[in-house]
Structure 1
């Protein structure tokens, strides 16, 4: 069976080369993310670990999804060849073993190419993480010998899993039905497509619903998962949309011979169109959806700061300076916020065993009275008036009111009691507030201070800023400028997260789009030849195929947009619940670039492959046997 599989490889290499590239890139992405994740874990880089875990999950999903759809498409394209094997005596089990043997060879070839490519991807990801500040400049991921087994498992496992369902479907098709394109073999919306499409659609609705009831930290991973499940659901149900888009293009090109032919080809090639649109659907859902989610959170955070903070100026300096600022004529309130590092030790009892957890956090030292005059929202529970002595105020969901914590501050251990629970915010806000007396003097002197200054009635904030600057009390900015700068820093962080999570994965999905277009065109040589001997010129055939490719692109963009819109609905509900108003930011510029890029890439690839497929004399192809 392996010899027959290898013979098929050599004869139909155009059909398999794209699948090998797809497996190769999947192995490279998973291997790179896994090696960097392990190294980051040994170094205790929490932010990098979180990002890389998400990247690994997305990369694994893309590998499984794209390879599976590619194999399903490849098997569908070869249905006639498999039917001939059935006619000459091959049983269903033999057909399945043939396809699984091909998948095994493909997985081995893809793994062999993906392992060295993964080293290149690892360097690229490491450089990206370093430039964005998620890992230190001297960070270097190390090669681990066990990764060879993991990479082989990914390559071979994904290949076998990808062809398994398609091989079962091919084995069940009756030979004559497959040859005539009738019966069960010609059905596109199979029972499996309906089942998995509706199942993952229900999962998407559930994830979006849950995302609307959690904070930003939980909403982001939930919306990423919602985008993935929506991609699977809409990909499975996409054959329902292809005919509709075909009719739409037929109306737009009404009266055009090429438009009529393109519409007919879309109607007859629903499986081909749906398989080509699948990777584009995933690309749009992830890229546009997650960019919109992070941008919406950033905008909601900015709105929240403008609503909750009351002040005129913000003075940034090192060490305490509220007393000196309060002595400046015209200053009514100087609410200082000192950010200091702290460790929190918690102990829980599980089945009689005490489990200890130590967490590094950034605490904010505030004067409760001044803080209350510059921050409009009251605590959810407790009171900031009780924030004195060995006490602490914590963010919503961290610790219950009255809980006892063990904090490490400046080399000493301090027991703290929770006296207030702060309201939940989109941007996180200050999650731990400490009274001034808890922090040792040397620690406070080295801390970064941000003081919100409120001017007295009638005092000009500009004159006040000049007076503060003249005394050298710190860098002065207006509250509006400070909020804008904070929002800009948050947007830069969000852009970094998008680059790490979806940078290489987006490139992978784009290459998969090109691969699907190449496979689709490679198997249409005889079809194009028939069109040419029927009276069409080579240029007309190319234009017909171009119209088809743009219609398929429209399907991918439309369904990807629906998946992205679902994630935005979830984050809009979350912002409405937390900040009081629904905030949705649609990344129109990115969406426009994605649409233009997809039309250009898919159209250009289709023209190139169609020209290659129509290079031979049409009479020779029409007269060739199946």
Structure 2
């Protein structure tokens, strides 16, 4: 039986080709994901470890400490006294105070360098006398910065931008443009630089002015002397630490960074594997369909095996051995293709300046095992039911040309089960809208509904395909035959269409959600804001008040306010909340809040506005007072002046910036709102950008720009999802090709008879082509219908958090999806239709 199974694989290798390709694509996706993410993780981890070569101990603010959690401002930066005390400990060879923060560098064309990656600034630690060398950043050219107005650049950035020693570069930390002289170029093992980011070094005093405060550091790194272990160093430093700081050994720091890198890549790995799983799930339909048709075509052969003594178990085993062989071949070739995909992705990232640190390609044993295992397991499981069906063929069937079709009772049981699954799935999906379990119930319902619809597809195929009768009648006999062929074997048609249905369900659902979200946020911005422009940093870090002052001095600017953000403890809530500061008079003119109770009257001084959710949490109404503890520890009584409907732009507590500013550690705005005399225009926008020094790190946006940015983000995300789901659609296309090709082979005698009684080659091609289009459109209609339903359900869940959300049906895209489904049918039928038309009539009529 083993030899028989292998011979059957070789005998039917052409018919199994599409099945092998379907599994191969899914396995390649899995293998490519595992190899690429492992390579990426290893490269970044190595780069990170190299950057910690000289670190035996790191002292950092501890945001998880009780002291930090009980203070609105969180953990404090580290002071000069702590640095001096640590440096004086026995066994310490050196101690360096580090200062880091955001620093955007513009190239010679004025464009932001390292956009999308870490664009950081740091200090060059030259010691108390300013003559020491910082071992972290050895100078390749020139010297280290010594005073304000001087910077050093990493060698990678210098090479990318063409900056050299003596050149002037434009840098922005919090808005204003700084003209800095490049005094040196250094080398570094910093992983962010290796990944395409930039690193700008300032002298320590300047870095503290920009990022912290004089005498403050964001981290202290310590190098141990000979014979002193990292743990001994940590124990020696422990008594010196403030309550909101922690000491980590170099080994622990490296492990934490490795864990962070692993966590970052695991999200990407999980997402990619999910799409690989979808492709493999679609491939299951093809595998099951292929083996079902092979079993049907070999009815007499399998019945004869039973007649000469083969047991049911042996017949089942022979079909599963065929599947095992296909799975091994597909798994091995898929693994090789996956390694190629990983190499290609790495090269693509480098070509797009998404630089990956150097390192070897990681093809782990687990990646090999998982890839081969997935190929084999998926193929064997999908072939199990056809194998069982083959074993049930009675020996007497050897006397007939075709085995008995499915009974009416079997179809009734199938339809009953499908109806239960579909009804239960739809009920759970709707129930999940208000369940509050973050979509778990809805997800379970969606899965049941898809399974139910799949089980019901044979039943659904007849009325849906019957609806195409008026359109197909235009094509005469070919159209009628195509329709009849499509419903002749509802199970086969259903399995073929279901593969395409899965892909289109996901694509349609995501499109509905993305379009609706984009419109909702656009509507929220237009309804909540009256300002002409919003000014912010490109990376949404805080803006200097100098930006607001510069804009306020412009004659065309009529109303302006900066929006502050500061943590605080409100009333008796132990968790810190965010206060938003604004100029009361300007805020009223620049926003359009919908008040549930109260109004702008009374807003200012100690009078504040709160959103409805916050008011409900504390039971507040206009006129109520509460105590607030600011980030500097000071307390003050505030009075509720109005309660407004919250949105994603304004939430929590809004108060007078004059009340908030004295308590902020560093007075900055996260955004500036303003109106100009002539309203929004390209000229006004260009003038504002010019006033700010044409700074690429600062965004000046009107409402249309905000909407376009939002639409761009959703479009980019959607296109990425389309690209990933394209794998599932390609697999579905292979399924249609496979089904049609095997169907043509199965109907060889019938097609020969049709040709003999006058159906010419063109009409034969048209018949197969129309059958393919009908099956593809059937899957497309089911997919679009399910996608719209799921899009509506998820939207109802989102509307609880985004009040402006309303479902938007992208009719044009839905039409495109259905058109693409039809195109899939046309393309999938090219080879089978040509094969059918080229059949020799006499040989086909004689075929068994």
CA contact (8 A) 2:775 2:825 kept: no
* Larger CA Rg, structure 1 vs 2: 2
CA contact (8 A) 1:83 1:176 kept: no
Show the 5 A alignment for 1:114-513. 114-123=334-343, 138=357, 142-172=362-392, 174=394, 180-182=402-404, 184=406, 189=411, 191-192=413-414, 194-195=416-417, 198-199=420-421, 202-203=424-425, 205-207=427-429, 209-211=431-433, 230-254=449-473, 256-316=476-536, 318-320=543-545, 321-323=547-549, 325-326=551-552, 333-337=559-563, 366-367=581-582, 369=584, 374-377=590-593, 425=647, 436=661, 440-441=665-666, 449-454=670-675, 460-461=678-679, 465=684, 469=688, 472=691, 482-513=702-733
Task: Summarize deviations over 1:579-602 as a string: whole Å, max 9, x none.
Answer: 445523333443343333332332
Structure 1 counterpart SS, 2:808: coil
CA distance in 2, matches of 1:8, 1:432: 74
Aligned-pair RMSD on alpha carbons? Answer: 5.0
1:553 to 772, 776, 789: 776
CA distance in 2, matches of 1:388, 1:157: 69
CA contact (8 A) 1:92 1:172 kept: yes
1:65 to 282, 291, 302: 282
CA distance in 2, matches of 1:432, 1:116: 57
CA distance in 2, matches of 1:414, 1:192: 70
In the TM superposition, residue 245 of structure 1 has moved relative to its aligned partner by 3.4
Distance 1:462 1:93, change over 3 A: closer
CA contact (8 A) 2:421 2:451 kept: no
Normalising by structure 2, what TM-score? Answer: 0.58
Partner of 1:536: 759
CA distance in 2, matches of 1:438, 1:59: 52
CA contact (8 A) 2:282 2:731 kept: no
CA distance in 2, matches of 1:185, 1:95: 22
In the TM superposition, residue 109 of structure 1 has moved relative to its aligned partner by 0.6
Structure 1 counterpart SS, 2:4: helix
Partner of 1:606: 829
Partner of 1:406: none
Distance 1:129 1:82, change over 3 A: farther
In the TM superposition, residue 66 of structure 1 has moved relative to its aligned partner by 2.3
Task: Summarize deviations over 1:252-291 as a string: whole Å, max 9, x none.
Answer: 3448322332232223122232222122212221222212
Distance 1:74 1:45, change over 3 A: same
Structure 2 counterpart SS, 1:524: helix
CA distance in 2, matches of 1:309, 1:131: 41
CA contact (8 A) 2:424 2:448 kept: no
| Residue 23 (structure 1) aligned with residue 23 (structure 2) | yes
Partner of 2:320: 100
In the TM superposition, residue 237 of structure 1 has moved relative to its aligned partner by 1.7
Distance 1:438 1:10, change over 3 A: farther
In the TM superposition, residue 433 of structure 1 has moved relative to its aligned partner by 8.7
CA contact (8 A) 1:208 1:567 kept: no
In the TM superposition, residue 69 of structure 1 has moved relative to its aligned partner by 4.2
Normalising by structure 1, what TM-score? Answer: 0.76
Deviates most, 281-290 or 226-235? 226-235
CA contact (8 A) 1:15 1:522 kept: yes
In the TM superposition, residue 372 of structure 1 has moved relative to its aligned partner by 6.8
Distance 1:482 1:272, change over 3 A: same
CA distance in 2, matches of 1:251, 1:114: 44
Number of residue pairs matched by the alignment: 587
Distance 1:423 1:199, change over 3 A: farther
In the TM superposition, residue 530 of structure 1 has moved relative to its aligned partner by 2.8
Give 5+ residue unaligned stretches, structure 2.
42-257, 538-542, 568-575, 620-630
CA distance in 2, matches of 1:50, 1:429: 30
In the TM superposition, residue 365 of structure 1 has moved relative to its aligned partner by 6.1
CA distance in 2, matches of 1:375, 1:274: 55
Task: Summarize deviations over 1:143-170 as a string: whole Å, max 9, x none.
Answer: 3332111112211111122122333344
Task: Summarize deviations over 1:353-404 as a string: whole Å, max 9, x none.
Answer: xxxxxxxx998964384657645457999x9999999x9999979x9779xx
Partner of 1:352: none
Structure 2 counterpart SS, 1:143: coil
CA distance in 1, matches of 2:793, 2:707: 22
1:520 to 740, 753, 764: 740
CA distance in 2, matches of 1:492, 1:45: 29
CA contact (8 A) 1:277 1:555 kept: yes
CA distance in 2, matches of 1:604, 1:213: 44
| Residue 595 (structure 1) aligned with residue 813 (structure 2) | no
Bigger share in helix: 1
CA contact (8 A) 2:503 2:728 kept: no
Task: Summarize deviations over 1:397-416 as a string: whole Å, max 9, x none.
Answer: 9x9779xxxxxx9xx9999x
CA distance in 2, matches of 1:371, 1:522: 70
In the TM superposition, residue 179 of structure 1 has moved relative to its aligned partner by 5.2
In the TM superposition, residue 297 of structure 1 has moved relative to its aligned partner by 0.7
Partner of 1:3: 3
CA contact (8 A) 1:292 1:587 kept: yes
CA contact (8 A) 1:201 1:234 kept: no
